[in-house]
Amino acid sequence: MLEKTNQVNLLFDFYAPLLKGKQREYLELYYLDDLSLGEIAEMHEVSRQAVYDHIKRAEKQLFEYDQKLRLAQRHEKRMEVLARMSELVNELAEGETRDELNTLLHQLSEMD
Q: Does 94 bind a second copy (CB under 8 A)?
A: no
Burial class (CB in 10 A: 0-12, 13-18, 19+), 2: exposed
Q: Which of 5, 18, 36, 60 touches a second copy by CB under 8 A?
A: 18
Q: Does 101 bind a second copy (CB under 8 A)?
A: yes
Q: How many residues are present in the chain?
A: 112
Rounded to whole angstroms, the maximal C-alpha distance in the chain is: 63
Strand blocks (E) in the chain: none
Residue 16 or 32: which CB sits closer to a second copy?
16
Q: Does 43 bind a second copy (CB under 8 A)?
A: no
Q: Which residues bind a second copy (CB under 8 A)?
A: 14-15, 17-18, 65, 68-69, 71, 74, 77-78, 81-82, 84-85, 88-89, 91-92, 97, 100-101, 104-105, 107-108, 111
